Amino acid sequence: MRTVLYNAHVALGAKMVDFAGWEMPLSYRGVVAEHLAVRTHAGLFDVSHMGRIRIQGPDAEHFLNFVTTNEVIAQLDGSAAYTVLTHSHGGTVDDTLLYRFDPQRFYLVANACNREKDLAHLRAHARSFRVTIQPTYANEGILALQGPEADTILRQLFPGEWNLKYMRFAVMTYQGHDVLVARTGYTGSGGYELFAENSVIPLLWTDLLAAGCNQGLEPVGIGARDTLRLEAGYSLYGHELADAIAPTESVSAWAVKWKKGYFVGQEALLRLQGNANKRSQHGVVLSEPGVPRANCRVFRKGVEIGLVTSGTHSPCLNCGIAIVMVQEDLALGEGVEIEVRGRKLKGQVIKLPFYNP
Amino acid sequence: MIKYTESHEWIQVDGKAGIVGITDFAQKELGDIVYVELPQVGKTIKLGQEAAVLESTKAAADVYAPVSGKITAVNDALKNAPELVNQSADSDGWLFKIELSEPTELDGLMEKEAYLQLVKRG
């Protein structure tokens, strides 16, 4: 599949790759340059491949509180919340951002690879709720404008008095078109995500790039999107979270709320608490040169204790970084080794995020 | 004389002394190179053996010895500036020097035109 910006990406010289069935830009100028542009100025991402599901109806709030791990009843109208869909066995169906318009209208942004699985999961659990569940990915696009200059750039397209706090959103108008502007993102550098009809996306893309040319704005591909999210310590489904990884075992454990009432998977997650087989995830910074990758083995004092779930070279720290999943307890500051291409490289457990802009 | 391999290395030869790097095409395919693992100076390697590793933000790629011989020097500048391979794959971003033990192996490598044809065909 292609987003409406496919031709624009190719014209900008992007290297295109397959991502969950979508032809997406891996990078334009280079992963590291784009990564640093987001950290120091601003970057514009096409993330129209993301799955989107509209959930509406009199029971929408209670249904979503029942089918996800975070608090939905107390969520404010006009806010977004990170929340996780869990199997009844405790494994993770998907991690999502849930945008709440009001108690009866929600919008769920899901991972592209999980779109159909999420739909089936939601529908299977919706039988006793008065809700409609409708995918909208085919008609709408999403842009992410991220970085310290994002606010200045966005205000050139949306002038006037407005203020959005982190994780809040509002529907605004650009040249007569509705645009949902959300102060959300996946980079750790702050900024906005813009949701609009497909017909409006190329206009927003072109006008944002033009508005930001004096602020150092540049297009950024999914290569830097991954290195940025990893520096920020965010989960990526298929790595930190999976059907066989419980959210409570992951860096997203904070999004599981125990006092919100019953939710799908709760018994399994409760059973896992205190279970000797429960795993945990930690950030590790390498002190020796090398690039850790997913599935590299992790050792402590020569004993294998787990695997890397995501690893990369951090452009901001200029060293290897990894999220590791281990069965043992790991303390901050503790030394571990990660086996990279046959060499055991020394590293240290740190408090996430790796990098805080 | 400069010759090329199908695995995208180049070797510049003067008598028995060779300098080896990867091609500009290869560095573009790899993307940002962030770490370079170079061979031990003094090590003897055979044609086609893994001689160096280039790690990019995306993946790790092996560099193979285009000829057999002994490693006489490595490009130490790459330790602190691996991006030299991206910026200047065919000169400052060279990887290692090798003393050829079987100079006739060069006959099996490609001339520039043949290599350019190869990458053009994809």
Q: Does A308 have pLDDT greater than 70?
A: yes
Closest chain A C-alpha to B106 CA, distance in angstroms: 30
A154-174 pLDDT, tens digit each:
999 999 999 999 999 999 999
Let me know: does A246 contact A273? Beta carbons within 8 Å.
no
Residue A352 has pLDDT above 90, yes or no: yes
Residue A283 burial (C-beta neighbours within 10 Å; 0-12, 13-18, 19+): buried
pLDDT in tens, A75-98: 999 999 999 999 999 999 999 999
- Which among B27, B30, B36, B58 is the top mutation candidate for probing chain A, defined by the most A β-carbons within 10 Å of its own β-carbon? B58
- How deeply is A10 buried, as exposed, middle or buried, from its count of CB atoms within 10 A (0-12, 13-18, 19+)? middle
| Residue B116: predicted pLDDT | 95
Q: Could you give phi then psi for residue B119, rounded to 5 degrees?
A: -75, -25
Task: Please name the residue of chain A whose CA is at the shortest distance from the CA of residue B87.
Answer: A30
Tell whether B81 is within 8 A of chain A (Cβ): no
Question: Which residue of B33, B34, B35, B86 is the best one to mutate when testing the A interface, meaning the one whose CB has the most A CBs within 10 A?
Answer: B34
pTM: 0.92
Cβ-based contacts of B79 with chain A (< 8 Å): 289
Residue B122, pLDDT score: 62
Residues in chain B closer than 8 A to A31 (CB atoms): 31-32, 57-58
**Shortest CA distance to A265 belongs to which of A66, A55, A59?**
A66
Tell me if A291 and B53 make a contact (CB, 8 A cut-off). Answer: no
Asked if B60 and A293 come within 8 Å (Cβ–Cβ), the reply is: yes
At residue A85's C-alpha, the angle toward residues A81 and A88, to 5°, is 145
Q: For residue B31, give the nearest of A27, A291, A315 by CB distance.
A: A27
Top residue of B28, B33, B57 to mutate, by most chain A CBs within 10 Å, is B57
Distance from CA of A37 to the nearest CA of B (A): 15
Q: Which residues of B touch A227 (CB under 8 A)?
A: 57
Distance CA A12, CA A219 (A): 9
Per the CB < 8 A criterion, the answer to whether A168 and A80 are in contact is yes
Residue A277 has pLDDT above 90, yes or no: no
State whether B32 and A31 contact (CB < 8 Å): yes
DSSP A249-301: GSTTGGG--GGG---TTHHHHHHHTT-TT--EEEEEEESSS----TT-EEEET
Give the single-character DSSP code of A355.
-
CB A40 within 8 A of CB A147: yes
Tens of pLDDT, residue by residue over A57-73, are: 999 999 999 999 999 99
Q: Tell me the average pLDDT of chain A.
A: 97
Per-residue model confidence (pLDDT) at position A224? 97
Q: Is A113 helix (H, G, I), strand (E, B) or coil?
A: helix
Is it true that the peptide bond before A353 is cis, omega within 30 degrees of 0? yes
- pLDDT by residue (tens digit) across A91-131? 999 999 999 999 999 999 999 999 999 999 999 999 999 99
* Residue with more model confidence, A274 or B27: B27
Are A30 and B60 in contact (CB < 8 Å)?
Answer: no
CA of B6 vs chain A CAs: smallest distance (Å):
22
Give residue ranges of A with CB < 8 Å to any B CB.
15, 26-27, 30-33, 223, 227, 289-291, 293, 312-313, 315, 320, 341
Tell me the average pLDDT across A265-274: 95
Cα–Cα distance for residue pair A254/A13, rounded to 1 Å: 40
The Cα A300–Cα A284 span in angstroms is 12
Q: Give the whole-number percent of chain A exceeding pLDDT 90.
A: 97
Chain A residues touching B32 at Cβ < 8 A: 30-33
Rounded distance, CA A23 to CA B58, Å? 17
SS3 content of chain A, % helix, strand, coil (to 5): 25, 35, 40
Pair of tokens at residue A202: 């190329």
Interchain contact, A31 vs B31, CB within 8 Å: yes
Q: Give the pLDDT confidence score for residue A201 in this predicted structure.
A: 98
Confidence of residue A133 (pLDDT cuts 50, 70, 90): very high
Residue A63 structure tokens: 């249904």
Our CA-based measurement puts residue A291 at a distance from the nearest CA of chain B, in whole angstroms, of 7
- Beta-bridge mates of residue A338: A298, A345
Provide the pLDDT for residue B111.
Answer: 96
Q: Which residues of chain B have pLDDT under 50?
A: none
- Please give the share of chain A, as a percent, with pLDDT higher than 70: 100
Residue-wise pLDDT for A142-151, tens only, equals 999 999 999 9
Question: Which H/E stretch holds residue A40?
Answer: helix A31-40
Q: How far is CA B4 from CA A123, B55, B91, in A?
A: 57, 21, 14
The answer to whether the CB atoms of A290 and B34 lie below 8 A apart is: no
Please say whether the beta carbons of A109 and A142 come within 8 A.
yes
Measured in angstroms, the CA of A278 and the nearest CA of chain B are apart by 31
Nearest-Cα distance to chain B for A314, in Å, is 9
CA distance A1 to A195: 19
Please list, in sequence order, all residues whose beta carbon lies within 8 angstroms of the beta carbon of residue B64, skipping any fewer than 6 positions away.
B5, B7, B9, B48, B49, B50, B51
A216 touches A35 (CB < 8 A): no
Interface test with B, best of A15, A32, A295 (most B CBs within 10 A): A32
- pLDDT for the residue A190: 97
Question: What's the confidence (pLDDT) of residue A328?
Answer: 85
Q: In this model, does residue A292 exceed pLDDT 70?
A: yes
CB pairs under 8 A between A and B: 41
